[in-house]
Structure 1
Amino acid sequence: MHNDDSRSALLDAGERLIAERGVEVPLRDIAAAAGQRNNSAVHYYFDSRAGLIEAIVDRRMNWLEHRRMELLATHEADGTAHEVRALVAMLAGPILELLDRSGVSHYGRFLEVVRAHPVIADARRLAGSDRAAVRIIATRLSAALPQLSPRRRRQRLETMATVMFALIADYERTLEAGARTPDPADSDEIVDMIVAMITVAVPAAADSAMPPRCRSR
């Protein structure tokens, strides 16, 4: 097997087994699932478990960044690039597109598993916060929620990644279990749920009960 093919097979196997069995799945099991006879294959290609996880994240993020930039350009052209629903769709949609693109059906579950693991120093990285497209989208989402106090806006946007990962992970599970079949409307349903979460109105009494200093944060 060519080196690039071996590395790719290890990334695929690592993503799937970590999603299914957790971060501490034995590295020898990942090597075996990738068709590698050498139990040390993960160490050879990635140095460590942490290196493998980072490589899986980077591989998907590189494609997601490119796709989100394409979507930003498309929405700029049609004048919807600052609308809440379009912005949320640009975040969630490309992850769901991975299912159609290459049969990937574990990335949402992988993200859900590794987001709280010490291997990932900053969970925001999993959402792509270090990528230009996501920074643009996040900035525009914040500006598109003027009805919320700065504190609530920040809280909801920080929670959005967790909710997005959970919804996509659950969707992958239902597909794998045969509980549902893929439908073009599925992506819209997930986006709608995320939009509802970040835009739901806050009762006036809730904010008025907060100390003035907290309201402005």
Structure 2
Amino acid sequence: MQSRWDGVLTPEQKAWCDARDIALAYDPLQIGWVIADIDSTCLRSTPATPLSWKVKTPGLLNFRRWQPSDVPAYMRLLSDPEVWQHMYEAWPGTLTQALARDLIDISGLSDHHDVLAVTLDAQPIGQMRLAFGADASSSDTAEISYWLGRDYWGRGLGRDLVHRATRRAFADHAWLYRLVAFVHPDNVASAKCLRAAGYHDRGHRDDGWQCFVIYRDT
């Protein structure tokens, strides 16, 4: 048995997949790396369609822009005060459709940040954000922040989110050399996720928030 594929990858395509943690498998018949589909196996299957960069491995976290159709999910995820307890901002109360639409619109308008929905099986479950200009003395630094809906806590998804978001940030922004993250002192789970993803502790800010940093591999 072998995994189903969409064709042998070029070196550039493999590098693109590696940077985004897209599951790959080596196919000895075609003598090359192919996109793996861990939920579908077959004997010596043949490609049904050309290679598509829209193919996503089921069951894995992915990232995309927030869309207007995400308003109901966005409201459901962020109307939970528990999700806000370790954020910078105070809980605004149960989100209305108008507020959810405004927040989604704002997330895609500014050039000082990059905001992506975190999806599981194509459904939004959280968010990652890169804030540029996080360090005025270092133009190659961005601040990374993230959240997950409470239904998705305690399942190891936070660790996967941080790992994938970090690799995605460095892959999408060639100028980026350093990522920093600030964690509420009571948010033990988030600190563990960052350490597991290779971030290093850099002490505390004056307000008590922990600082973590990671550098691009050289």
User: Normalization by structure 1: what TM-score?
Assistant: 0.28
Greater relative contact order (Cα < 8 A, sep 6+): 1
Which one has the bigger strand percentage? 2
Point out the structure with the larger helix share: 1
